[in-house]
Structures are given as structure tokens and as C-alpha cells.
Amino acid sequence: MIPPSQGADGGTVAPLPEMVEVSTPEGARLAAQTVDARQRHARKLLEVRDLSTRFFTPGGVVHAVDEVNLELDYGETLGLVGESGSGKSVTALSIARLVAEPPGRIVGGEVIFDGIDVLGLSNEEMRLLRGRRIGFVFQDPMTSLNPTMPVGRQIAESARAHLGLSRRAAAARAADLLATVGIPRPKDRLGDYPHQFSGGMRQRVMIAIALACQPMLLIADEPTTALDVTVQAQIMELLRSLSREFRTAIILITHDLGIAAGMCQRVSVMYAGRIVETGLVDDIFERPRMPYTRALLDSRPRVDLEPGGRLPTIEGFPPDLVDPDPACRFAPRCAHRREVCLEREPGMTPRPSHGEGHAARCWATEPGGWIP
């Protein structure tokens, strides 16, 4: 059972039931598939296997997500990092079944969430699951929030739709959630519109909406984009505390490796639609085994750099994902490439590490490779 949270009036918000929407056929089928507490200790919350998403455009078929594999434990925070355009957001949208069709389509793979085959659900079943058990924080709250609707109503809408709360109970819950995410005078702000909040406050409102039903999984897609450093730190601390309080698992999508290092237990690095390295945070940051990961780390600003010096950059550009070549996708930009890199793509294979699950996609760091 999820622990109660502090309410807006200093009391506590009652813990929510695991699944209340069993009055419809869709809800009954979802409840029948739900994993009970005993089984959860023996399996992952989320298992993504060979997930592939394509966009069918006039210029060709874009391989936006290509055979991606991810795992997430109950209550764990996983960082998904990489350059813009590497496929991070499309991966998250695919997991939540939010890819626009057309032009996009999930063409293969499995997404198993809490024992439920997500890709096998109907649209109505997915709507129940997504609102009740999977929360989503989008990149830009100003375009994600409805500018014509007060924020209190936007938060309460989810609680009413998925929990069956009355209008008054949903409004009280909205105020409690605004207090939980750190907005002062929450009851007074329920009637305010998104434009009356700062960027950081709007992001907090988005988080409140995502948490309205106390989901088991929160997908946060670049939650600190366009925010100043102080507000970024506040949002990250908020997510960290909410994860501890509600035992919510988080997929944190970011291009900021510093944020991933401070928030996540494990990190998966994406490049050109593929996972190219995955492992515990310490393994990824202390001994990366994919040249792309090393290049990302070297590109970070550092306090020990000479004043006025130039930051290292990754030369070249990501590949065209319309029918990509069957070779290492990073090879054209890699200083360590050899002939085999331009001929065949390496698989994700284990690497020696301090923890379990460190794997990389690189010929050079394979056993017997030319990078020790």
C-alpha cells in the first residue's frame, strides 16, 4: 500500500486503492492481470523488450526507436540520456502508447508493465492504465497545460476520471497535491490559470497532475528544460522526495549527465534510436565502455578547465535514420573506429563492472578489443 502524504491543511491524504475501475469490462480485465504484492518481489515493474517504433513519412521510414531493451525495478529511478534526436522521448511515448498514429507506429517488441502486456491492451484499457498507474511529465508545461482551464480543475480532472471522486473531493485532493509539490497557498491557487504561474511553478503543476492518482511509474521527459539552475535543483529534489515517499519508479529523460548522476541508480545511453550502453551510475560515469558515452562525459563543463578554453565536442552529426546502414551508427564520428565498425553493428554485450548489468554496444571494448 502506498503511504499517505501530507495534505494542504497539515493533515494527510488517504492512501488510494490499488484499482477502483473494475465496474467496466476494460477495468475488470486490467484488475485480473494486476500483479499482487507477493509476486512483485520476484519480477520487474517494467520490462521493455526489442521495442521498435517507426515513422512513415513521404521521405521514407524513420527508425526512431530500434530494438530497445529496458528494465526498471519497483521504486527505482532510471536515467535515459543522449543527444537531442537520439530517440529518448519517442521511447517514453512508445512505453505509454502515446505515439501519434499516423505517422508513427510501434512495429515490434514487448512492453510488460507490472505483469500487464501494454501493447496488447485496447485503447480504453490503456487509458485506464495510463491515467491510474503511469504518470507522464512532458517537456514544456506551457504547451501541455490547457491555457483556458484553471490548474485546480486540470489536476482534479484526472482524479475524478480515474478515482471516481466527487467534485468537492477532487478539488480537495488538487489542493493537497499543490501543497505536496511545494506551491504556496495551494487552495488560493486552484482558480489560477497556467499563465499566472512561473515556469518552475508550471512544471510543479504538471508533476501534481502526473501524481494525482499516485502512479507506480512516473515518466519525466526533460522536466527541467528552460528552467534556471536553482529551479532545476528544486524540481530534482521534489522528484527525489516524491519517489521516496510514494515509492514511485521514475524514468528520467535528460541530456544533462549531471542530473542523471545525482538522481538515478542506473543509466541507459541512447544514440540514433538504439541503447548503446547501460549500467549502474558508477559504472557509466567511472568506466564507460562505449566511446559515445565517453564523448558525452568529456563534453560536460568542468570547473578545472582553463578559463576561456573550448569545451570538447563530438565531431560530425548523427546518422540519417531513414533505412540506417547495418554498421555501428556511431562509427563515422568515432575516433576509435576500425574497418569492422563500418561493416557490422555490434550487439549489446556484458562488460566487467562493479555492479550487475553493465553492457555496451562497441567492438573496441569487447573482450580482445583494442580499447582496454
The yes-or-no verdict on residue 122 having pLDDT over 60 is yes
The yes-or-no verdict on residue 277 having pLDDT over 50 is yes
What band does 290 get if pLDDT is binned at 50, 70 and 90?
very high
Residue 41's CB is within 10 A of a number of other CB atoms, namely 7
The yes-or-no verdict on residue 9 having pLDDT over 70 is no
Which pLDDT does position 298 carry in this prediction? Answer: 87
The yes-or-no verdict on residue 318 having pLDDT over 80 is yes
The yes-or-no verdict on residue 229 having pLDDT over 70 is yes
| Distance in angstroms (rounded) separating the CA atoms of residues 214 and 176 | 12
Which pLDDT does position 34 carry in this prediction? Answer: 54
What band does 129 get if pLDDT is binned at 50, 70 and 90?
confident
Which pLDDT does position 29 carry in this prediction? Answer: 52
What percent of the chain shows pLDDT beyond 70? 86
CA distances, 133 to each of 109, 178, 248 (Å) = 21, 19, 10
Which pLDDT does position 23 carry in this prediction? Answer: 44
| pLDDT tens-digit series, residues 319-353 | 999 988 889 999 999 999 999 999 999 999 998 87
The yes-or-no verdict on residue 8 having pLDDT over 50 is no
Tell me the average pLDDT of the chain.
84
What phi and psi values does residue 271 have, to the nearest 5 degrees? -150, 125
Nearest to 363 by CA among 339, 352, 354: 339
Kindly report, as residue ranges, where domains of CATH 3.40.50.300 are found in the chain.
5-10+43-264
Interaxial angle between packed helices 199-210 and 167-180, expressed in degrees from 0 to 180 and rounded to the nearest 10: 130
Fold assignment, 5-10+43-264: Rossmann fold (3.40.50)
Which pLDDT does position 362 carry in this prediction? Answer: 95
The yes-or-no verdict on residue 230 having pLDDT over 60 is yes
Query: Cβ distance 242 to 217 under 8 Å?
Result: no
Which pLDDT does position 355 carry in this prediction? Answer: 67
| pLDDT tens-digit series, residues 14-66 | 343 344 444 445 455 555 555 554 455 457 899 999 999 999 999 999 999 99
